[in-house]
Amino acid sequence: MRIATWNVNSIRLRAEQAVTWLKETQPDVVCLQEIKCQNEQFPREPFEALGYNVTVHGQKGFNGVALLSKLPLEDVTHGLAGDESDVQARFIEAVVSVKGGVARVCCMYLPNGNPPQTEKYDYKMGFMARLKAFAAERLKLEEPFVIAGDYNVIPGPADASDPSAWTQDALYLPRTRATFRDLLAMGFTDAIRATSDSDRLFSFWDYQAGAWQRDFGIRIDHLLLSPQAADRLIGAGIDKHVRAWERPSDHVPVWVDLKLAA
């Protein structure tokens, strides 16, 4: 089973690209972030025509997440528990049936948090605290479980072409990285780093200052695997070539292959 994540930076602008990529790579489950549309505006038809079930948690003009799955999506939950006042569409969870049980998939668009020393960073850290509490509860189920998405976290120096350029950024502050490491310490596995220790494994290149042309990138899109999912890890990768397509997102798809059968 291939599970992929991609911040598409507006699904209505990039539906054609998404369809091309889906035909090319054939993922079983796809987590999309920054769809930037309300539920009823999501262009379902081209994805359903490819055999995907679609569930959407959107909002007008900003944020928004969606799950596409070739398997039926069950027990779908919109929103991350822990703060009833949070109305931003950043989290969706669902279960798919696999041989011998179920697999749980979460699609997440974690807040950027910039500028630091503002309520935006407080929101980011509050969201991460809620994520840790949620993850701790889900780990008790002892089932294959993937939290995939745009984390807006640069985990370490190897995940940026120039770490010194990010030292004052919310994505790379010590507190941000420490909270990400807390998730790993709970038992989650970073799929990309579990399969490669290569440098220049980036998933985001800014539109400004020729970042793509200079390969001035960062790795902020992650798939974290529960122990039961990590035990089934076959491979993982980053579809860097998608960034070179016409009118691309500033992110590219990241994926993991797990030994799970429908």
Which residue ranges make up the annotated binding site?
Answer: 7, 34, 150, 152, 250-251
Task: Report cis status (omega within 30 of 0) of the bond before 115.
Answer: yes
As a whole number of angstroms, the distance between CA 210 and CA 215 comes to 8
As a whole number of angstroms, the distance between CA 14 and CA 169 comes to 28
Neighbours of 71 (CB within 10 A): 18
The angle subtended at Cα 82 by Cα 110 and Cα 254, nearest 5°, is 25
Catalytically annotated residues: 109, 150, 251
Q: Which residues are annotated as part of the binding site for Mg(2+)?
A: 7, 34, 150, 152, 250-251
Residue 206 CA to chain centroid, in angstroms? Answer: 17
| Backbone dihedral region for residue 110 (phi beyond 0: left; psi -120 to 50: alpha; all else: beta) | beta
CA atoms within a 13 Å half-sphere pointing along the CA-CB vector of 92? 26
Token pair for 174 = 């010590």
Dihedral Cα 123, 82, 149, 125, nearest 10 deg? 30
